[in-house]
Each structure stands twice: as C-alpha cells, then as structure tokens.
Chain A
Amino acid sequence: MILLDTNFDDTFARYVKPVYLYSASVVFILLTATLVIATFNTLYVKKKKNCFKKSIEKSLEDWITEVIINESSVGVAIPENIQDLFKKPEARQLVIDELVRNKSSFLGIVSENIIKLYYKLGLNVDSRIKLDDRRTHIQCQGIHELGVMEQKDQLQKVYRFTNSKDKDVRIEAQTAVLQWYGFKGLRFLDVVSYPITEFQQLKLLELLRQLPFTGFSKLDKWLTSSNDTVVSFALKLAEHYKQVQVHKEAEQCLQHPNEAVRVQAVKTLAKIGDSKTADLLTLAYNKERFTNRLNILKELPKIAGDDQRDFLIIQLHEGHEYLKLAAAKVLAHCTAEGMEILEAKSYDTPIPYKEIFLHVKAEAAR
C-alpha cells in the first residue's frame, strides 16, 4: 500500500514484503524476551548456586577442621548433615572441589585424611566416571581430581591419556602421573608423540621441584627423541638438575634443526658445560640467526674466558648493535683487559662504541 504517492511502484516490497520484515521483527522481539528471561534466570541460578556453595563450604569447614585437628585419627566419621548433601550430584561435585582445594594446601596426615575422606565418601567413583565422558573437559576434570587425590590405582587408564590427541587431556594425564610417581612418572616421555607445550613443561618442572630428586633413567634417550618438545624439556631437566653426564647429547642438540631446541641447548650447556663448551658455542654462533646469537652472548658470561677474546672482538665490530653491546658485556666481564679494549675502541670509533663502553662501565659499577 502506497501512502503518499499512489502511482509509485515499489518492486522491493514485491520480493521482500513488509509483512516478512514485521514477522522477523516479532521473532527478534520474542527471542530478545527469551534471552532477557534466560539472563535473569541465569543470574538467579548463579546466585542460588553461590548460596548453596557457601552453605556447603560452611558445613565442610568445621568437618575438615576436625580432620585437621585429629591428625592421629585413622578413620573419619561422616556427619549426618553432610551425608544428606550427597544425594545431589552438584553437591558431590562441590565437595570434590572443596577437598581438592584443601588437599593442595596440606601435607602429611591431614592430606592423607582428606584422601581417606574422598575415598570413604565414594567420590573417587565420581571422578573415575568422568574419565569415560566423551566431553574432554570433563575427562580433564576427572584426571585432575584423581591426580590430586593420589588415586594411583587409576594409572593404567590415566597413563593411556598421556599421549592423547587432545592437548588438554594429555596435559592433565601427564601431570597426574607425575603427581603419583614423581621422577619415575616421567616415563611417558619415552612414548609421547604429541608436543609438550612450554606451559606444560613449566608446570611439570614446578611439580618436580617440590619433590626430592631421585634421578632420571632415560635422560640421554629423551635428548635424542624424535619429538622436539621432549628434547627441549629434557634439556631443561638437564639444566635444572645439572646433569653433566648428558653433556655430549646436549652438545649434539646444538645442531638440532629446531631453533627452540638449539636455544635451550645453549642455556643448558652454559650450566653443565666443561672447559670446551665456550669454544663450542662460539663455533655454533656463526650458523645461528639473531635470536640464538644474542642468546649465546647472554649465556657466555657464565663460561667464557680469555680464549674467547678474539671471537668477542670480532663480534664487537660486526653485526647488530644489540649483539655489539652483548659482546662488549662479555668482553668486559670475562676477559682480562676487556674494559681497556672497550675504552680504547671508544676513543678510536666514538660512535657507537663510546656509548657502549659507558653503558658497560656503568653496569659493572652497579
């Protein structure tokens, strides 16, 4: 219907009739209303859940405190009010969460009592069931719970997951195995074919750091693994635990095709190297690109000496300004008369060597 011009022909309206657009608008309004209701409902549910969680926390608080106080107690009695809670699955999950959180904060008998409690309440079954869930985040949750709660009887099942194609499942499984068996748990490195992310490596190193060192059985094998991330991780282990016996394998990693491995190899060798390592690094230097060159110059102060003076003087003249500065630092720090060489250079060619000299001098003075 044309309101103002009766002769006007609206072809658009023939194909996209106003009624269609109005109908769509009505649908949009209905959807909007549904979303608004859902939003307020979510707010309500979240609030309710929060209250429920708080009430459980309150109930558990006294009980867990009792467990903590009765450190010598062998068994743990379940209060009736808490037994009632277990009829609801969400309450069981909240209890698991609470126990997992507490378990991470305690050691010794208290920690053991928390595990006993978890077992006694049958919560280990809940966690085990999660392993068979097809949703990977639920699987992760189950592995995490079993790992923290030291459910070693699940090793066979969890170990399979250490080489799962799902990154998150793999990470949790590797962590759990390490939590259960410490350094021996690293045996998954023998078989893992998927990458171990830097974050996971960092997590595993941190877990190991809290345990007494019991040695590595196959560090040399891991350093020659076909999985680059295993090599990288093994190099970090060698560096952190100063495993000088794998010096040769670490040296070979300087030729590794993966730059990240070579970078880590330099760091490791600077820690476990012998008298020839500095020369080895200077030889590797020319084959590297900027990142690892700078890395080598940053690590050299730990092992360099007068033998590297000629190499360092060459670097002072060549390449990038960052590399010049890094070379100057090593020269001043590790060689006799290094500072004098720099000073002479600063008079000779003030730009940029005067500033480099002053920088190094100021740093040495601090």
Chain B
Amino acid sequence: MRWDSLIYDFITYAIFIYSGTQLIFYVLIGLFSIGATKKYANKNSFTDYKLLAISPYAPSISILAPAYNEGANIIENVRSLLSIYYNNLELIVINDGSKDNSLEQLVVAYDLIKIDYFVSYQIATKAVRGVYKSKNPIYKKLVVVDKVNGGKADALNVGVNIASNDYIVCIDVDCVLEQDALLKLMKPFLESTGEKVIATGGVVRIANSCEIQHGRLLKVNLPKQYLPRMQALEYIRAFLLGRMAWSRLNGLLLISGAFGAFDKELAIKVGGYDHKTVGEDMELVVRMRRYMEELKLPYKVAFIPDPLCWTEAPGSYKILGRQRNRWTRGTIETLGLHKKMFFNPRYGLLGLLSYPYWFFFEMCAPGVEFLGLVAFVVMAFFKLIYWQTFFSFLAFIITFGYLYSAFALYMEVRTYNQYRRKTDIMKLLLTALTEPFVFHPFVVWSGVKGYIDKLQKKSSWGEMTRQGLNGNHQPVITANHVVVKDVLLEPQEN
C-alpha cells in the first residue's frame, strides 16, 4: 500500500468516524428532546404558577445581579427586577467596582443608605466596600452591594455570601425576563422527591429587534441583522434540542449564566464560582455535579424548555468572535479542571457520556474541523483527494446540518412558536442555508483563536460594544467586564 494512500485513508476514516459519531449523537439528541419537551408541555398545561408567588411556603430566593458600568440602564434594569412578583424574595445588586456613576444613580433613585452589615466571607472574594438598603419600604427587597472590581464570578460570590435565602438565582442585569420566569425556574426544586435538584436553567432567546419597554418584552420579532438571526436559530437548536435531551438524561453540564437557579448551601459547599476561569457558569455546574457524584448522593440538574429570558446577541463579527473565543477557553478550562471525570465510571453518566461528549464534540470540534480543512488543502495540493468521495461526504454533512436545523424549527413551531409569521420561518430557513458557508466557518475560526489564546495564556477582552435592547447604541465600554450574551466577559487581572 502506498504511503499517500495510507495517510489519505487514515484522515478520511478518522474524520468519517468522528462525524458519524457526532451525527448519531445529534439524532439521539433530537429524539430525546421530543419526549422531554412533550412530557414537560403535557405536565404543565394547567399548572397554576401564581401559587408559588403568593404562598408563604414557597422557597425563599435571592436574586444576584452583578453590574459593571451599567449606568446607562441600571435604574430601569433594577426596576424591572424589583417588579418580579414573588413573595419570598430579595434582590441583591452587586456593583462590581464600576467606574461610572452606577452606584450614585442607585442611591438617589432608590433612596439608599449605607448600613452596617456583617459580611461573612465564606467564599473568598474581593473586599466589600459597603452594603446599601433603601429607606423607602417599597424597596425593602433591594440590597445593593458595592465592592472592589473582581469580575463576574467574584461579584456573584459576594452575592452568595450576602444572600440570606435558600436559593440563589443568578441573572445578567440587562436580561429581559418573561413574566413568570422565576416561578417556572423554581418549580423543579419543589417537585423532586427522591433526588435533590441542585440547579435549574431555562431557555434563553435572542432579544435583538424585539420590542422592549421598561424591561418588559412587548413583542417578539425575528432579529433583522444576519448574525443575531443566525444565533436565534443556533439557540433554538441548542436549547430546545440539546439541553432538553441532556436534561432528560440528567447529563446537563451547563446552566446559562444569564439566568439560572442554584441551591445556595451546595453552591457554598463547593466553593462558589471559580474566578480563575472564563467559563464560570459551566464550571460551577460541573463542580456541583462532581461533588454530588463523589458523595454518591442522588441529584438532578433540571432544565425548562419554556423561553424564560431574552438577551442581546452580538451583532458584529468582532464581538461574536470574542464571545466564541471565550466559550472555547471556558470549556477547555472547565474540562481541564475536572479531567479526573473523563471516562471515569465512578462518575456514572457524567463521566462516561456527558464529559466525553463535551470533550470530543464541543471542545475538540473547532480543532478537528480546522485540521480537516488544513488536511484537505494539503491533500488537494498533492493531488491526494478523491473528489467524488469528497463531494459526496460534503453533501452528506451539509444536508444533515440542514435536516437538523429544519427539525429544530419544526420543534419550535410545534411547541413554543415564538416566531409566528411564515416569513420569519422562511427567513430562518434561508439563514440556515448559509450557515455552513458563512457563520459556521467563522465560529470554527473563533474557536481556533480560543485555543491559541489559551495556549498563550491570554485572557483579556479589550473593548466591547453593545447596541442596547431598545435599539440605541450604548456607549463604548472599555470594560474588563461586559455583558455580551449569556455571559459576562471578564476582566483578567494581568
């Protein structure tokens, strides 16, 4: 056998096996998500969520909302969070050393005074400069914490230390919540019987082009710009199919940082958010799960297919690239920290399926795809490509991608049907057609840049911009701490 033929075979078989396995996973995810979503819809068709809001027996919740240089919208955002209808609630806004006048604005708007407050540093954090409460009883649920800048994870940890309630709900301060989002998020904690629910998350949707007023979603619109529209489709696939299926298997590794609820006691026990990683939301879930697995305690991470939270997606390639770069690094860091679980039967499904899936098909995917492309170019140069095979393989992969997107859209229309106009669905389908040629290569390239940045131990973000959910351009923020999607892009202290 010729050497070039050997190389060709090796690469072709390797890529074929990798792709085939991934495709099988996608098929299984699709199938599993059908059952899980259907079951959820049937079960909750006549649930009266209002019960939870008014009952004195409902669990007590502390909402943690970290804010950095959010001065432009902080008053409105806090007002929106204060309007959440729930009896047993406190809202903790953590001003993470903002350089703007966020704190001063809050003090004036909500009649705040600095109070003597004992902060127990159960989780080590940067220093708290002051705790503020309102003189006005209308705002008695509000606690504002001013602290030295330390990034989102550090701010959330301060919130965990201050929180006086049993459950913590972490939220990006600029997210727009559905009316009963909190109630839906909390219900799984009250429904568990044998196994302890340690965290819950819900579907995050793209808010670009939607009509939003005073922190309330008035009308859902499909994003007008290409990139947010593409991400709208991507989110439908990821949340409605991927996370629902993993949740059914109890193998979910990620609760979105934009909106998720956690058992406070457990979050403290495992040491809170890790401020050394840029993927702190995923890392906390993995650590909590690992803790429960090691103690052999029955547990569950629940996921709700209802759209609960609307957030702004990056509208430019520059910001999208930074976001995906960060996601890749966050995944590498999280999986690296918990490499002990890799194919380790001690961790059950978590070690044998969830972790390996994330390793091979989330973390390695950009690398494999990029190397595949490089190999293709080299082999084409040396005339080692069997073009018939190449084109058939390409067609196979691309058409499968279309099928998966079409299935996700079908599921969306069958279930929550947020985009009700035929033209919206048509636009999403057309957007899906462009994905393999425009969006996907860019995401792969951003992931590869994430590898490179990780190897170079880079972790800074630089300038980020946000368009704002009301369509107004927000000022350029030279932050080391800016919300872009479901995550806060963190400052790196180097």
Contacts and interface: CB of A to CB of B under 8 A. Distances in A.
Interface of A: 1-5, 8-13, 16, 18-22, 24-25, 28-29, 31-32, 35-36, 38-40, 42-43, 46-47, 137, 140-141, 144, 167-168, 195, 197-199, 201-203, 205-206, 229, 236, 290-291, 320-322, 325, 352, 355-356, 358-359, 361-362, 366
Contacts of A361: 116
Contacts of B1: 9
Given A361-B116, A362-B115, A8 B122 contact: no
Given A4-B385, A10-B386, A22-B392, A358 B8 contact: no
A198 B417 contact: no
Contact of A205 (B55, B192, B265): B55
B396 A25 contact: yes
A36 B406 contact: yes
B296 interface: no
B447 to A, nearest CB: 25
Given A39-B413, A39-B425, A199-B191, 11 more contacts: A4-B383, A5-B384, A8-B386, A10-B389, A18-B389, A21-B392, A21-B393, A35-B410, A197-B193, A198-B190, A366-B115
Contact of A202 (B55, B393, B407, B425): B55
Contacts of B122: 321-322
Interface string B1-24: 110110011001100100000000
Contact of B422 (A11, A29, A43, A236): A43
Contact of B406 (A8, A39, A46): A39
A167 B48 CA distance: 16
A40 B422 contact: yes
A80 B1 CA distance: 85
B45 interface: yes
Closest 3 A/B residue pairs (Cβ): A137-B42, A358-B116, A18-B392
A356 B193 contact: no
Contacts of B8: 8, 10, 12
B121 to A, nearest CB: 8
A225 to B, nearest CB: 15
A13 B117 contact: no
A140 B44 CA distance: 11
B129 interface: no
B136 interface: no
Given A12-B16, A168-B43, A40 B425 contact: yes
A21 B45 contact: no
B118 interface: yes
B187 interface: yes
Nearest to B414: A42
B83 interface: no
B108 to A, nearest CB: 20
